[in-house]
Amino acid sequence: MSVSAAKLSAAPAPGRVRRHLLVDRIYHWLMAAGVLILMATAFLPIIGYKFEWLGLHWTTGVAFSALVLIHIVRAVIWQDFWAMMIDAMDIRNGWRRVARVLGGSGPAPGMPGKYNGLQKLYHAGIAVLVLATVVTGLMMLIKIDTPWWRRNPYVLADYQWGVTYAVHGLAAMALITMVMIHVYFALRPDEWRLTRSMFRGWITRAEYDGHHDKQRWAADEG
Amino acid sequence: MELFRYATSIYGGSDMLVGASWGLLKWFVAAGVACIVVHAVLKAVTSRRVHGSR
């Protein structure tokens, strides 16, 4: 190694590392607004705050469904789809972390790529719940009048509608749990770098060096 | 604790499933609170253990 190269590798790396593009941050915050509107219009009337909720709920639901579709296409074609998939290294690291929390010894867990195993698990869970609400919600649109069609409740049998409504309700209630957990992690001081990156797009080079495996996430300079 | 809501069929016979029971709402909120509390406690304990071993 040359002297200049050694100096470079030893020096504290300045600068920022890009974590989220502007389009992805806009998508995230539009999704957040959509989820909050959908939850408010779904659950406030149930707990006693009565208002005309249906119009705002279904129009927001249609916009939300379009956002989900855009996200799926973007994730598959333009983003690193596999960066969000749980792999063998995540499972190994998770096992090592659990062993350590329980007081065991053994090798230390390795550092994650862009997302750690629990973040990927959370994403998988919320993907299932969101897809369940979107698919059942779009089906339920058939039962209401919209500018494009008149309601037709006879497309499905009564018990099929019952199952559709049950899945929509259960998934929506489970999303409350998931949103609570998401907000909790976003507010934790030790996760603040990730929350900041969802506002400003970057983490510092030191945060990248300290929390991520460069082999698993080759980040861009911000 | 009911998991689902049922209505009486206009044709008689057994009750029809109409959706999830909204009584579950408080349990999903409680599950969120439980996850948060368990994680916060675990983090506090493990970070104390790490700092204590230094």
- Quote the number of domains for chain B: 1
Which residues are within 8 A (CB) of A122 and not within 5 positions of it... i.e. 6 or more apart? A178, A181, A182
The tens digit of pLDDT for each residue in A202-219 reads 999 999 999 999 999 987
Contact B6, B18 (CB under 8 A): yes
The tens digit of pLDDT for each residue in B22-48 reads 999 999 999 999 999 999 998 898 887
Chain A CA closest to residue B5? A166
pLDDT recorded at residue A4: 43
Average pLDDT for A3-28: 70
Full residue range of the structural domain in which residue B52 is found: 23-54
Our separate counts of H helices and E strands in chain B read 1, 2
Cβ neighbours around A206 below 10 Å, total: 15
State the ipTM, two decimals.
0.88
Average pLDDT for A152-172: 95
What residue spans define the domains of chain A? Answer: 18-86+110-200
Q: Please report whether residue B14 resides in a domain.
A: no
Q: Please report whether residue B16 resides in a domain.
A: no
Chain A residues inside the 8 Å CB shell of B9: 158
Q: Indicate the range of A20-24, A43-47, A97-101, A129-133 predicted with least confidence.
A: A97-101
Tell me the shortest Cα–Cα distance from B54 to chain A, in angstroms: 16
Chain A residues inside the 8 Å CB shell of B16: 158-159, 162
Query: Regarding the domain delimited by A18-86+110-200, which CATH topology (the fold level of the hierarchy) does it fall under?
Result: Fumarate Reductase Cytochrome B subunit (1.20.950)
Cβ neighbours around B18 below 10 Å, total: 16
- Residue in A159, A173, A190 nearest the CB of B17: A159
Structure tokens at A7: 């100096």
- Residue in A46, A176, A184 nearest the CB of B28: A176
Question: Please, which pLDDT band fits residue A6 given cuts at 50, 70 and 90?
Answer: very low
Average pLDDT for A180-186: 97
pLDDT recorded at residue A9: 42
Average pLDDT for A133-158: 93
Question: Please, which pLDDT band fits residue A106 given cuts at 50, 70 and 90?
Answer: confident
Contact A180 B9 (CB under 8 A): no
- State the virtual CA torsion across A114, A117, A118, A120 in degrees, nearest 10: 70
pTM above 0.95, yes or no: no
Distance in angstroms between the alpha carbons of the first and the last residue of chain A:
27
Average pLDDT for A71-89: 94
